[in-house]
């Protein structure tokens, strides 16, 4: 077990529908750092996230969270400690407050007014929005709300799956700054799947490059400037979709 690992994969394999989706993945996501995860569509990035918060179990290999085997966690606690935010920032019908309170309600609890205000402040959303219909807020606001919602349970690890893909340049920058602030202020470990090599390079401390179910290269994000592997090099230079 590596001391500074938030998540560690050891020879992890996963198949579904007759496809070998993740192939012998061994690697570490460093605690308190931002790791960006890049690779072509279908590389297995989203599947890897599902393994990280226990939504699916591996066929073989081991996954450790902090110093404990993932199987030793209570599944509910695991999902609370490892927050997941998705590209489409799905909202339930109702107000912004209803959406923010969802993770608490699922635990049969209520979200205190003070806590709601505090979360809105963290993601820099106006408290006035709490009573607005969640369908009526902008894409950028919805993505902030989605991030706030994952923060309700103070997760130690945050998994972000292409959360800025559908945002304009300004909102994208705002969300990047927000995530860097959360990482700095709370020491939250961030793993961020992105389509943008530029974003992966500028936001990441570390980067994983996945292709066709394999972890091709990993290390400090500077590796993207000069990948060792030829296929990775072609992907990074935009020659492979
Ligand atoms: N439940 C499943 N059954 C069969 N194939 C799947 C399943 N989930 C994902 N896949 C396949 O696994 C591959 C990786 O998918 P995914 O993890 O979503 O990749 P990425 O997020 O990198 O685009 C894709 O080819 C996808 O079609
Ligand atoms: Mg994906």
Categorize the per-residue pLDDT at 241 as very low, low, confident or very high, splitting at 50, 70 and 90.
Answer: low
Q: Which residues are near ligand 1 (CB < 6 Å)? A: 16-17, 19, 21, 39, 41-47
pLDDT over 70 for what percent of the chain? 98
Assess contact for 207 and 200: CB atoms under 8 A: yes
Quickly name the fold that domain 5-89+157-236 has. Answer: Rossmann fold (3.40.50)
Assess contact for 157 and 77: CB atoms under 8 A: no
Domain spans in the chain, listed from the N-terminal domain onward: 5-89+157-236
Mean pLDDT of 158-169: 91
Atom of ligand 1 nearest to the CA of 40: 22
Task: Give the integer Cα–Cα distance in Å for 234 and 231.
Answer: 5
Task: Give the bridge partners for 172, in sequence order.
Answer: none
Instruction: Please count the residues of the chain.
Output: 241
Task: Give the integer Cα–Cα distance in Å for 104 and 107.
Answer: 5
In 106-213, beta strands by DSSP E: 157-161, 189-193, 206-211
pLDDT tens-digit map of 51-69: 999 999 999 999 999 989 9
d(CA 46, ligand 2 centre) in Å:
4
In sequence order, what DSSP letters do the residues of 193-210 get, joined into one string? E-S-HHHHHHH-SEEEEE
Nearest to 52 by CA among 24, 31, 23, 81: 81
d(CA 224, ligand 2 centre) in Å:
20
CA quadruple 169, 175, 177, 180: dihedral, nearest 10: -140
Residue 1 pLDDT > 60: no
């Amino acid at each position: 077990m590596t001391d500074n690992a938030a998540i560690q994969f050891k020879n992890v394999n996963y198949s579904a529908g007759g496809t070998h989706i993740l192939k012998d993945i061994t690697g570490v996501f460093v605690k308190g750092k931002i790791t960006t995860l890049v690779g072509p569509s279908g590389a297995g990035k989203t599947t890897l996230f599902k393994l990280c918060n226990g939504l699916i179990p591996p066929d073989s290999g081991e996954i450790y969270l902090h110093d404990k085997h993932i199987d030793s966690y209570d599944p509910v606690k695991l999902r609370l400690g490892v927050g997941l935010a998705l590209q489409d920032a799905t909202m339930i019908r109702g107000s912004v407050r209803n959406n923010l309170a969802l993770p608490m309600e699922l635990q049969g609890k209520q979200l205190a007014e003070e806590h709601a205000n505090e979360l809105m402040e963290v993601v820099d959303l106006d408290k006035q929005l709490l009573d607005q219909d969640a369908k009526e807020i902008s894409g950028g606001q919805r993505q902030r709300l989605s991030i706030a919602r994952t923060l309700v349970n103070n997760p130690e690890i945050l998994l972000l799956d292409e959360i800025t893909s559908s945002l304009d340049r300004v909102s994208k920058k705002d969300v990047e700054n927000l995530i860097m602030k959360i990482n700095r202020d709370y020491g939250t470990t961030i793993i961020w799947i992105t389509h943008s090599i530029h974003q992966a390079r500028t936001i990441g401390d570390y980067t994983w490059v996945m292709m066709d179910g394999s972890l091709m290269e990993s290390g400090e994000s500077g590796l993207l400037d000069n990948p060792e592997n030829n296929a990775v090099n072609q992907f990074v230079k935009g020659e492979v979709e």
